[in-house]
């Protein structure tokens, strides 16, 4: 029990409870299953992307190209299935592969060319968005087959406890479980933490740093590709500016969830609660009719609160330990 309270997720989970309680008391519509699944559907794409981004950040890197790669993937589905008359599922597959390619390029530039992650992914952010605009001639594409649109609109189930779950939410949940298993229960996952803590130490203890980093960026890129496909299915159109501002939301969720931008720390459960906080915050403000310009401000405040709460907890614990050790010395 104590470990749960002390854990990194507790701060962001507390925040989630507070925000949820505030909106539940302000709007009777907010806590209806209908609305909560609406939020879950809207934020399933972000959840998918942050599973990868958490790994990148734990490994001591950063990826700010996530939003642009989502946009590129979304537009590829439209261009290939619409303009090129390709089978819709083949187009989805290619869009995911394109995401994987973008992520792998990020990984290669960072590991082989030794470019700082923020610079390498900044370049990708611009390049992928540019490509999305070029391929689509800056226009949205719609008119997908119903089976594809259903991916973003329909539910499966009944699942025990939850009832009918939207397909996109089920996909996100599956990937979250996969991410948790990789990070927590595999040697490879522990290697990611080791690389983030100290690359040199990791190398000396036999971790393949190149492979670890390539996996983090490549996996993130692939998940962005999947996120773009999911987004195209949800809104039933391919939009070149899809995923605009995603990098901010994704990084906020990861940091809110307790991952350190210095690397070596963090976990996916915290990240997902961070995504949930942002989802209910935006939805709650929309339901209560608060101007959307305020949402940007609230998001910033939430981030500061989460980081401060985390720092406060760590600091109190550290100072207590220091006091004890000072006490021991006095003896």
Partner 1 sequence: MKSPFGGGNTELRDTRKYVIFAFITTIAIAGVMLAGCTRRVEKPSGGTPTTTTETQKHGRKIAFVMKLIGIPYTNVCEEGMKKAAQELGIDAVFLGPPTGGDTIGQINIIEDQISRGVDAIIISPNDDKAVIPVIKKAMSKGIKVFTWDSDAPKSERIFYVAAADDVGIGVEVIDRVAKDIGGKGKVAVMTGSANALNLSLHVQGVEKGAKKYPGIKLVQPYIYNDDDQQKAIQGAITLLQANPDLAGFACVNSPGVPGAARALIQTGKDKKVVVWGLSIPSENRQYIKDGVVKGLTLWDPGKLTYLTVKLVNDYLDGKKPYNGMSVPGIGVLKVKPNGIIIMPGLIITKENVDQFKF
In the complex, the residues that contact partner 1 under the rule CB under 8 A are: 22, 26-27, 29, 34-35, 38, 42, 139-142, 149, 231, 235-237, 239, 241-245, 282-283, 285-298, 301, 304-305, 308-309, 311-312, 314-316, 318-319, 321-322
CA 95 to CA 87: how far, in whole Å? Answer: 12
DSSP 204-260: HTT--HHHHHHHHHHHHHHHHHHHHHHHHHHHTEE-TTTTTTHHHHHHHHHHHTT--
Shortest Å distance, C-beta 214 to partner 1: 30
Give the C-alpha distances (Å, rounded to integers) separating 41 from 12, 224, 239, 278, 292.
21, 16, 18, 13, 20
For partner 1, the closer CB: 27 or 104: 27
Classify residue 78 as exposed, middle or buried by CB count within 10 Å of its CB (0-12, 13-18, 19+).
Answer: buried
Residues paired with residue 141 on neighbouring β-strands, in sequence order: 238
Shortest Å distance, C-beta 290 to partner 1: 5
For partner 1, the closer CB: 116 or 288: 288
For partner 1, the closer CB: 152 or 218: 152
For partner 1, the closer CB: 101 or 307: 307
Provide the strand spans (E) within the chain. Answer: 141-142, 155-159, 163-166, 237-238
Question: Strand, coil or helix: what is 165?
Answer: strand
Shortest Å distance, C-beta 191 to partner 1: 23
For partner 1, the closer CB: 66 or 141: 141
Nearest to 238 by CA among 92, 72, 75: 75
Shortest Å distance, C-beta 46 to partner 1: 11
Shortest Å distance, C-beta 158 to partner 1: 21
Shortest Å distance, C-beta 323 to partner 1: 9
For partner 1, the closer CB: 87 or 318: 318
């Amino acid at each position: 029990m104590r470990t749960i309270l002390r854990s990194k997720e507790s701060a962001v989970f507390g925040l989630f409870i507070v925000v949820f309680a505030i909106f539940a008391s302000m709007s009777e519509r907010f806590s209806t299953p209908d609305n909560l699944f609406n939020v879950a559907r809207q934020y399933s794409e972000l959840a998918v992307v942050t599973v990868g981004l958490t790994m990148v950040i734990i490994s001591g890197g950063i990826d700010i190209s996530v939003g642009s790669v989502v946009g590129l993937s979304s537009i590829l589905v439209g261009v290939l299935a619409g303009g090129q008359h390709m089978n819709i599922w083949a187009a989805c597959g290619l869009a995911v592969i394109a995401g994987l390619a973008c992520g792998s390029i990020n990984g290669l530039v960072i590991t082989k060319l030794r470019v700082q992650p923020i610079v390498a992914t900044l370049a990708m952010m611009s390049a992928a968005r540019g490509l999305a605009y070029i391929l689509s001639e800056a226009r949205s594409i719609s008119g997908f087959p119903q089976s594809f649109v259903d991916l973003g609109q329909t539910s499966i189930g009944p699942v025990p406890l939850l009832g009918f779950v939207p397909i996109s939410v089920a996909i996100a949940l599956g990937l979250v479980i996969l991410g948790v298993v990789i990070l927590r229960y595999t040697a490879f996952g522990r290697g990611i933490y080791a690389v983030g803590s100290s690359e040199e130490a990791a190398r000396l203890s036999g971790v393949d740093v190149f492979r670890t980093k390539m996996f983090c960026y490549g996996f993130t890129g692939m998940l962005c590709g999947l996120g773009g496909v999911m987004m195209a299915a949800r809104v039933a159109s391919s939009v070149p500016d899809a995923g605009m501002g995603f990098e901010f939301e994704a990084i906020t969720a990861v940091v809110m969830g307790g991952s350190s931008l210095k690397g070596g720390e963090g976990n996916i459960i915290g990240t997902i609660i961070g995504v949930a906080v942002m989802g209910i915050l935006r939805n709650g403000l929309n339901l209560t009719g608060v101007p959307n310009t305020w949402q940007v401000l609230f998001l910033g405040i939430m981030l500061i609160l989460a980081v401060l709460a985390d720092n406060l907890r760590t600091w109190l614990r550290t100072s207590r330990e220091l006091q004890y050790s000072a006490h021991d010395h006095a003896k």
